[in-house]
Structure 1
Amino acid sequence: MTQETNIRRHTISVLVDNEPGVLARVIGLFSGRGYNIESLTVAEIDASDSLSRITIVTSGTPMIIEQIKVQLERLVPVHKVKDLTLEGPFIEREMALVKVVANGEKRVESLRIGDVFKARVVDATISSFVFEITGTADDLDRFIDLMQQLGEVDISRTGAAALSRGTSTL
């Protein structure tokens, strides 16, 4: 297998102290070594212990992914690093707000497509809708592609949020 075909998408979950500068250090680790972050989500998950979860989606060869995990584990505010892609089955979702500006039949069609994708209308005007949609990155990509065929589209998208299935925790 060549190096190029051995590149795989990985979802990495990192438990860190919720303090100023932690996210900048994690991002610096990636940018300083030329690694790309495809998606990044961070939020406090435990206020009493002041802990946050950072979910990073990146791609690389097994060697590069291993380097990333080892370097993340060396950062002082990092408590735990888990490569969900390698650990077993996991659930990954994104959320997007998608504004579609359309009139007439295209407006009606956008509502039909929204219904098929279980997108919720969170704002409506005479000439636009804002949909809220949650799903896999591929689901969101398909929804956005279809909406772009119907009219002008404005998009705000979160990064991936992910958890392992079953009893395993971070």
Structure 2
Amino acid sequence: MKGASLAEIKKELSHKSYDDMAELCLRLARFKKENKELLTYLLFESHNEEGYIESVKSYIDEQFELINTASYFYIRKSARKILTNTKKFIRYSQNKETEATILLYFCEKLKAFSPSIKYSTQLQNMYYRQIALIKKIVCTLHEDLQYDFNLILEDLSK
């Protein structure tokens, strides 16, 4: 089955009643975990972006605590998993300031992680890719925010 375009879906949704829309949303939430998470963000957390950022930061903290430090293989695998989930949470928000804040926090945690990432080329590459992405995002923000984020980036680049 081929999915309809967004324009077609939007046009069709404009013809639906409130009850039909609510039923469609609930049915959509049943099928995929990401859909349910997105609806949760939109309904409960989108009005409080600072609280959402703090909840994502606490998630990152918890996940870094659980990393198996037996070998760099497990560390890399866990760090990639944390980054994937973090980017998923960022996609829900679609706010560039939130994205920069969360990615900076991830990089801070990765840099401070013990054992050090300097002994793993893959972890260093992951770190530097995220720093480059943050720099790209920061360029699109307001000048005052750019200054604040650039100060943090300078500390991380040392």
TM range (shorter): under 0.3
Q: Which structure's residues are more often helix, by fraction?
A: 2
Q: Which structure's residues are more often strand, by fraction?
A: 1
TM-score by length of 2: 0.23
